[in-house]
């Protein structure tokens, strides 16, 4: 078994439609830090689906949030991290570890 620390989702703008931003293609993926930054001029709701869990956060303009409630979560082969935003204007990044 090999564990590799890496950027699982390099910084990107999140689309409004439900989108799989990361799909686990190895034995497991562990999420260490998930960061979202609201660049929009108004409030944005960011919803993250990870496995069977759902986390929603209303973010104010200029706010950065690190989703501590899902840090340490694990996806297994074939599972995905899916995001939805209420409007465009959220930059998103995930770092973690892949287990092969």
Query: Mean pLDDT across the stretch 38-45?
Result: 96
Give the integer Cα–Cα distance in Å for 19 and 57.
17
The domain made up of 12-95 is a member of CATH 3.40.50: no
**What was the pLDDT predicted at 1?**
87
Number of alpha helices (DSSP H) and beta strands (DSSP E) in the chain: 0, 9
Percent of the chain with pLDDT over 90: 96
Q: Where are the domains of the chain?
A: 12-95
Q: Whole-structure pTM over 0.85, yes or no?
A: yes
* Model confidence at 52: pLDDT above 90: no
pLDDT single digits (tens) 14-33: 999 999 999 999 999 999 99
Q: Put the strands of the sheet holding 44-50 in their side by side order.
A: 19-23, 80-85, 44-50, 53-59
**What was the pLDDT predicted at 51?**
80
Query: Mean pLDDT across the stretch 19-48?
Result: 96
The chain-wide mean pLDDT, for the chain, equals: 96
In sign, the C-alpha dihedral spanning 52, 55, 44, 21 is negative
Task: Indicate the SS3 state at residue 68.
Answer: helix
Q: Cβ–Cβ contacts within 10 Å for residue 17, how many? A: 8
């Amino acid at each position: 078994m090999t564990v590799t620390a890496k950027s699982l989702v390099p910084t990107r703008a999140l689309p409004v439609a439900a989108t799989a931003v990361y799909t686990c293609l190895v034995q497991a993926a562990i999420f260490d830090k998930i960061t979202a930054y609201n660049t929009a001029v108004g409030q944005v709701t960011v919803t993250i689906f990870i496995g069977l869990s759902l986390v929603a956060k209303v973010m104010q303009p200029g706010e950065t949030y690190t989703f501590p409630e899902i840090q340490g979560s694990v996806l297994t082969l074939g599972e995905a991290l899916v995001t939805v935003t209420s409007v465009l204007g959220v930059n998103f990044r995930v770092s973690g570890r892949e287990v092969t």
